[in-house]
Amino acid sequence: MERSEIADLAKKLRDIKATWTPRENPISLLDKDKFKRMLNPEPPPITQLSHVAEASGAPGFAPSVDWRNHNGNHVTAIRNQFSCGSCVSFCTVAVLESMASIEKNQLLDLSEADQHFCSSHGASCGGWNDNDAFNQIKSRGVCSEASFPYANAFPNNDPGYYWYHDPPPNPVCHIAANRNDSVVKLTNVHNMAHNQAAIKSYLTNTGPVSCSIAVYDDFQSYGSGVYHHVSGSLEGYHCIEVIGYNEAGQYWICKNSWGTSWGMSGFINIAYGEIGIDDYDKIGVTGVILPAAPHGWYGYESLGGLLTSTPNAVSWSENRIDVVARGTDSSVYHKWWDGSHWNGWESLGGQIQGAPAICSWAQGRLDICAVGLDHHLYHKWFQSGWSNWEDLGGLLSSDPACVSWGPNRIDIFAAGMDCAMYHLWWDGIWHGWENLGGIITTAPAVSSWASGRLDCFARGTNNHLFHKWFSGGWSNWEDLGDNMYGNPGAVSWGPNRIDVFFPSQNNSMNHKWWNGNAWSGGENLGGALLSGVGVSSWKAGRLDCFVEGTNSAMYHKWYQ
C-alpha cells in the first residue's frame, strides 16, 4: 500500500470515527503480490460445533484476559515470518511456547523452520492448517531455534528472499545432529471450533489458542486500536496466536508474526466478529513434553527462608521432597515440593538446638527428630496430621541423623557427650541408646540402600571422612580420607549406591560416592555454604541437595 493510500485510509477512518488508526510499516509498503506470499490463499477448514467435545459445559470466564500479564508473562517474543507463507508454523509454535511457560515454567525459543520445512508440510512456503500443524508437534515435536534457525532455510540466510525473486526457489530443511536433545512435544490438541464461551473459558483457565483470520488490504497498515475491516479486497488467510480478550472493549488480543514494526509492537486487538475471527476454529494444546535433561548438576536455586541450621531432606515418593531446618526463633520449619510447586515454610514448633533430621518409612509418613535445649532427643511425626513433640531422652552433643530401611523402622544416630556415636531405633518399640564408639567431630549422616543395611558417616579427629556400616553386624570405622569442614549428608538412590556430601575447606560442596565397587570423588560442586549438606533422592539417578547460603536462605542443587 503506497503512502498516499495510507493517508487516504487514515482520513476515511477518522471520518467514520473508527476504533483504530493505520501506520506505515514494512508490511504496508509491500505490493500486493509480495504481501500475498505471506498468506494462505485457501480458507481454513471450519469444524461443526456438534463435533467438538469442548463446546458445552465450559466453566466461567473472566471479564478480560491477557497472557502477557496473567500469573506472569507467558507470551514469547514477536517473530517475523518475512516473505514466506509460514504463518501457521509461527502461530502453532507460539502457542506451544506459551504452554511450556504456563505448564513447565520454561521460556523456550523453538524452531518455526523445523516445524514448517521438516515436517509433513514439506520444504515449501505454501500454506497449512493449524490442526495438522499441532498434530505434527504431537508426533514429531519441534526442536530449538538454535538447532535450526529460521534464516538458515533460505538462500543467503535471507528470509526476505521470496520477496525479490520470482519464481523463488524452495527453502530447505536442515536436520540438526542434536535435534532430539531439544525436541518439545505436546500431548493433547483441543479444538473449540467457534464456540465463544468455551474459547473464553479456555483462555481464562488454560492458555492461548491459535486462530485463522481473513486478511484484507487495510490489515497491512494496522497501527493501533481495535481493528475492524473498513476497505480493500480480500488478499488471503492468516494464522495468529490469540492471547486474550476484553469483554468491555469487545475484542480479541492477538500476537502476529510480522515483526515488531507492524501493529502495536507486533500485537493487534481485533473486534469480535471481524475478518472471520469468530468463524474459524480456535485450537489450544496441553501436556507439554520437554526433552529429557542431560545428566548433570543443576542449580543453585534460592528457596528463601531465614535458616539457622543445616537443612535436611527426605522423599517419600517420586517427585516429592520434604525439607526441615531451624528458624531464627529456634523452631523447626518445613518446606515441601509436591511435584510442581514448593510450599511452606510451615512452623512445626519446638525449641531446638542445631539442625532437625527427617526420614520417612511410607508414603504420607514423616518422622522428624531434633535435639532440645536440654540435650534430649525429641520426635515429631506426620501421618494424616502432625503429632506433638515426644521426648526420647539421651544426652546428645550433635545434631541427629535418621533413616528408614523399611515400613515401621527408624534408625537415629547422634554424638554423645563423650563424642562417641550413639544409636536409637524403632521397630514397633524404641531400643537403645547403643554406643557405637569412635570419636566423631561432626554430626553423623546415615543412608540405607536395602532392608537391614545402614551406612553412617562422620568426621574424625583428623578431619577425614569416616564410614561405619551395619549388615548383620557393625563394621569398624573406615577412614575414607577427604578433609571435611562441616556436617555430612548421605543418601542412597538404589542398591549398592551411596552419595555423600560435605563442605570443603573453601566452603564449597564436595561429593563422594560408592558405585558398588569403589569410592569415587571428591567432586567439587561449588557454592558458598554456611552449613552442612542435606540430601534426598526420589528415584535412581536423582539427587536433591540443600544448604544454607551466606545470606541464610536455603539453596537447592540437584542432579538428574
292 domain residue, yes or no: no
Q: Are residues 306 and 272 in the same domain?
A: no
| CB half-sphere exposure, 45, CA atoms < 13 A | 10
| Helix (H), strand (E) at residue 523 | strand 519-524
Q: Are residues 273 and 318 in the same domain?
A: no
Burial of 176 (0-12, 13-18, 19+ CB in 10 A): middle
Instruction: Give the contacts of 191 (CB within 8 A, at least 6 positions apart).
Output: 47, 52, 54, 131, 281, 282, 283
User: Does the pLDDT at position 444 exceed 90?
Assistant: yes
pLDDT digits (tens, 9 = 90+) for 190-239: 999 888 999 999 999 999 999 999 999 999 999 999 999 999 999 999 99
Residue that is last in its domain, among 286, 314, 338: 286
Q: At what angle do helices 130-140 and 87-104 cross, to 10 degrees?
A: 50
Q: Are residues 420 and 554 in the same domain?
A: yes
Using alpha carbons only, what angle is made at residue 416 by residues 493 and 439, rounded to the nearest 5 degrees?
75
Residue that is last in its domain, among 286, 320, 349: 286
pLDDT digits (tens, 9 = 90+) for 135-154: 999 999 999 999 999 999 99
Q: Using CA atoms, how far apart are residues 205 and 207, in angstroms rounded to an integer?
A: 7
Identify whether the C-beta of residue 372 lies closer than 8 Å to the C-beta of residue 364: no
Report strand pairing: 222-227 vs 20-22: antiparallel
Tell me, what CATH number does 144's domain have? 3.90.70.10
Instruction: Give the contacts of 538 (CB within 8 A, at least 6 positions apart).
Output: 315, 317, 318, 319, 320, 321, 544
Q: Shortest CA distance to 90 belongs to which of 117, 71, 69?
A: 117
Q: Are residues 71 and 128 in the same domain?
A: yes
Q: Are residues 259 and 280 in the same domain?
A: yes
DSSP-assigned letters across all residues of 263-285? TBTTEEEEETTSTTTTTS-EEEE
pLDDT digits (tens, 9 = 90+) for 366-387: 999 999 999 999 999 999 999 9
Write the CA distances from 214 to 132, 167, 218, 370, integer angstroms.
19, 25, 12, 68
Q: Using CA atoms, how far apart are residues 281 and 305, in angstroms rounded to an integer?
A: 47
Structural domain of 109: 3-286
187 domain residue, yes or no: yes
Quote the pLDDT of residue 56: 41
Q: Using CA atoms, how far apart are residues 558 and 543, in angstroms rounded to an integer?
A: 5
Bridge partners, 380 (sequence order): 368
pLDDT digits (tens, 9 = 90+) for 327-344: 999 999 999 999 989 998
Instruction: Give the contacts of 320 (CB within 8 A, at least 6 positions apart).
Output: 336, 337, 338, 339, 538
Cell of 400: 541427629
pLDDT digits (tens, 9 = 90+) for 76-97: 999 999 999 999 999 999 999 9
Identify whether the C-beta of residue 318 lies closer than 8 Å to the C-beta of residue 538: yes
Tell me, what CATH number does 305's domain have? 2.120.10.70
Q: Are residues 322 and 237 in the same domain?
A: no
467 domain residue, yes or no: yes
Quote the pLDDT of residue 21: 96
Q: Using CA atoms, how far apart are residues 361 and 262, in angstroms rounded to an integer?
A: 60
Q: Are residues 314 and 258 in the same domain?
A: no
Q: Shortest CA distance to 398 belongs to which of 387, 412, 409, 410?
A: 412
DSSP secondary structure code for residue 308 in this structure: S
Instruction: Give the contacts of 418 (CB within 8 A, at least 6 positions apart).
Output: none
291 domain residue, yes or no: no
Quote the pLDDT of residue 365: 98
Q: Are residues 212 and 357 in the same domain?
A: no
Using alpha carbons only, what angle is made at residue 545 by residues 537 and 451, rounded to the nearest 5 degrees?
30
Percent of the chain with pLDDT strictly greater than 90: 87
pLDDT digits (tens, 9 = 90+) for 483-542: 999 999 999 999 999 999 999 989 999 999 999 999 987 899 999 999 999 999 999 999
Q: Using CA atoms, how far apart are residues 54 and 458, in angstroms rounded to an integer?
A: 59
Q: Are residues 449 and 536 in the same domain?
A: yes
Q: Are residues 258 and 301 in the same domain?
A: no
Cell of 559: 542432579
Domain count, the chain: 2
425 domain residue, yes or no: yes
Q: Shortest CA distance to 521 belongs to which of 481, 469, 478?
A: 481
Write the CA distances from 213 to 187, 191, 260, 359, integer angstroms.
26, 16, 20, 58
User: Does the pLDDT at position 50 exceed 80?
Assistant: no
Torsion angle in degrees (nearest 10) through CA of 11, 14, 19, 21 = 40
Q: In what order do the strands lie in the sheet with 297-302?
A: 297-302, 554-559, 543-548, 534-536
Q: Are residues 60 and 112 in the same domain?
A: yes
Report strand pairing: 251-255 vs 234-246: antiparallel
Quote the pLDDT of residue 65: 97
Instruction: Give the contacts of 153 (CB within 8 A, at least 6 positions apart).
Output: 113, 117, 123, 159, 171, 172, 173, 174
Instruction: Give the contacts of 164 (CB within 8 A, at least 6 positions apart).
Output: none
Q: Which residue has the higher pLDDT, 271 or 166?
A: 271
Q: Using CA atoms, how far apart are residues 364 and 360, in angstroms rounded to an integer?
A: 8
Amino acid at residue number 525: L
Q: For the chain, what is the mean pLDDT?
A: 94
84 domain residue, yes or no: yes
Q: Shortest CA distance to 88 belongs to which of 236, 304, 192?
A: 236
Residue that is last in its domain, among 257, 286, 315: 286
Identify whether the C-beta of residue 67 lies closer than 8 Å to the C-beta of residue 205: no
Mean pLDDT of 345-351: 97
pLDDT digits (tens, 9 = 90+) for 243-252: 999 999 999 9
**Preceding peptide of 433 cis, ω within 30°:** yes
Q: Shortest CA distance to 90 belongs to which of 137, 147, 54, 158?
A: 137
**Preceding peptide of 345 cis, ω within 30°:** yes
Place of cell 528408614: 404
14 domain residue, yes or no: yes
pLDDT band at 53 (very low <50, low <70, confident <90, very high): very low
| Helix (H), strand (E) at residue 101 | helix 87-104
191 domain residue, yes or no: yes
Q: Shortest CA distance to 75 belongs to which of 224, 221, 264?
A: 264
Q: Are residues 405 and 433 in the same domain?
A: yes
